[in-house]
Amino acid sequence: MMGKRLRWLIRIAVILTILAGAGYGLRQFRQTRAEAALPLATAKKDEFLVLVRCRGELVARRSEQLAAPLDATDLQIVWLAPAGGPVKKDQVVIRFDPSRMQQDLKEKQAALDQAQASLDQALADARIGGDQDTLDLSTAHYAMEKAKLEAAKQAIMSKIQGEESDIDFGLTEEKLKVQQAANVTHQKTNESKIASLQQARDTAKVQVEFTRHQLSLMELKSPLDGVINYMNNYSSGWANAQPFKVGDHAVSGGILAEIPDLSTLQMESKVDETDRGRVAVGDKVLVHVDAFPEKVMPASLAAITPLTEVSFSEWPPTRSFRAYAQIESPDSRLRPGMNAGADIVQMKIPDAISIPAKALFTEAGQPIVYVKKGDRYVAQRVQVRAKNPDEVAIEGIAGGEMVALAEPPLEQRSPATQAVRQKSTEKK
């Protein structure tokens, strides 16, 4: 009987021991998990930048537009440089179908050749006619001189023969005058014909040169180094507008593309009205492009608009200024229109202790941080020197200390911290 009772007591003792051990293990497990789940951060000692944070996008201060050639018809695009790709100065970026222009050039060149041939023939005819007129004039001079000589023999000839000589002299003199007049008429006629043919030839030559110039415009070249962006084609209506592509027809003089100069990239951002007095032209700026979050690009504040802009996209309406930051060394991957953030450096605090903004709490109206000491957290009062949206510069703790990013449970705080918290709760 005593043996059974003893065995029963031993069993109860074992069960109680197991339950106590399980309870202790569960408590330790929960405490360990709570400690592990509590996020921590390291207080850093470094230069602290007091920032004015704003958002915006990249813009190019300088850009050039490409237009379809004037006085040209049936401009069909047959080749385009890749949209958004880099281009060099004088690189061909757009080609139009040149077949019709080439046919026009052949026709105008044929007309020029015909006009030149007609002019050459007229010059040759004028030269031959002039030689014949010179010969005829010489013959007339000779005949007149001969008749004059015969008339001079009147003194030794009979009266009848003398009168005949006088008549012959008069006739040869008239023939000379007629030949001289004919020569002048021929010369004037040839000059007029040649001038008309020269004008026709010159007109045909101008048309050929103009057509060649138009043919050269069938290839549009980039005026600068940059990237090419094609404009929307509204020929199918505003609702169906799309960037120009191969096969589209361009309107004479219409804008087809725009090439921004990447070396003039700026960060255009909106500065809140309340922050305007904290920034000035010349301030350093840190640009963070959304497409390349790992890269920080130094810049300087180049300009701020003098007037505010009202935005009704949210209520109540907000007022802001436009600020432009010049990027010092633009990355070749940057493109206008990319979204980005700008941190305008208002002030620098050397050797400052900084912590994440989440690590700052308040106790009895005073700022505190929870510093990890062993397996406990000690509430440490601090003084705030400066604030940014995501970090705070403080005094009161040393660099390298671990601070909690969330309020630790009461059982994980140091006894002194627990007592302070209890007193604060009782006062409330």
How does pLDDT run across 314-334, given as a tens digit for each residue? 778 888 999 999 998 888 888
Q: How large is the average pLDDT for residues 398-418?
A: 84
**CA distance readout (Å), 412 to 23, 33, 372:** 18, 12, 10
The DSSP call for residue 146 is H
Assess contact for 403 and 369: CB atoms under 8 A.
Answer: yes
Assess contact for 256 and 234: CB atoms under 8 A.
Answer: no
Q: What is the mean pLDDT of the chain?
A: 84
Which is more confidently placed, 400 or 375? 400
**Confidence class for position 250, pLDDT limits 50, 70, 90:** very high
**Confidence class for position 112, pLDDT limits 50, 70, 90:** confident
How far is residue 3 CA from its own chain's centroid? 98
SS3 254: coil
| Residue 367, beta-bridge partner list | 362
- How many residues are present in the chain? 428
Which residue carries 């008549």 as its tokens? 167
Q: pTM for the full model?
A: 0.61
| Residue 233, beta-bridge partner list | 242
Q: In what order do the strands lie in the sheet with 63-67?
A: 63-67, 255-260, 229-230
Residue environment code for 285-324, b if the CB has 16+ CB neighbours within 10 A, otherwise e: bbbbbeeeeeeebebebbeeeeeeeeeeeeeeebebbebb
Percent of all residues in the chain with a pLDDT value above 70, rounded to a whole number: 81
Give phi and psi for 220, each to the nearest 5.
Answer: -95, 130
Cβ-proximal residues to 183 (8 Å cutoff; 6+ apart), any chain = 133, 134, 136, 137
**Confidence class for position 34, pLDDT limits 50, 70, 90:** very low
**Angle 99-151/159-216 helices, nearest 10 degrees?**
170
Q: Which two tokens stand for residue 103?
A: 């046919």
| pLDDT value of position 364 | 84
Which is more confidently placed, 25 or 205? 205
Assess contact for 304 and 323: CB atoms under 8 A.
Answer: yes
Assess contact for 68 and 251: CB atoms under 8 A.
Answer: yes
- pLDDT tens digits along 151-160: 666 555 555 5
Assess contact for 403 and 371: CB atoms under 8 A.
Answer: yes
SS3 391: strand
How far is residue 1 CA from its own chain's centroid? 101
Counting other chains too, the contacts that 397-401 makes at CB distance below 8 Å and 24 or more residues apart are: 397/43, 397/353, 397/369, 397/371, 398/43, 398/45, 398/353, 399/43, 399/44, 399/45, 399/353, 400/42, 400/43, 400/45, 401/42, 401/43, 401/371, 401/372
- pLDDT tens digits along 223-239: 999 899 999 999 888 88
Assess contact for 243 and 231: CB atoms under 8 A.
Answer: yes
Percent of all residues in the chain with a pLDDT value above 90, rounded to a whole number: 44
| pLDDT value of position 349 | 94
Which is more confidently placed, 377 or 313? 377
**Confidence class for position 14, pLDDT limits 50, 70, 90:** low
Residue 9 has pLDDT above 80, yes or no: no
Helix (H) or strand (E) holding 373: strand 366-373
d(CA 100, CA 341): 51
| pLDDT value of position 211 | 84
Cβ-proximal residues to 169 (8 Å cutoff; 6+ apart), any chain = 144, 147, 148, 150, 151
Which domains does the chain carry?
A: 37-43+351-427 (2.40.420.20), 53-59+262-349 (2.40.30.170), 68-96+229-257 (no CATH), 100-216 (1.10.287.620)
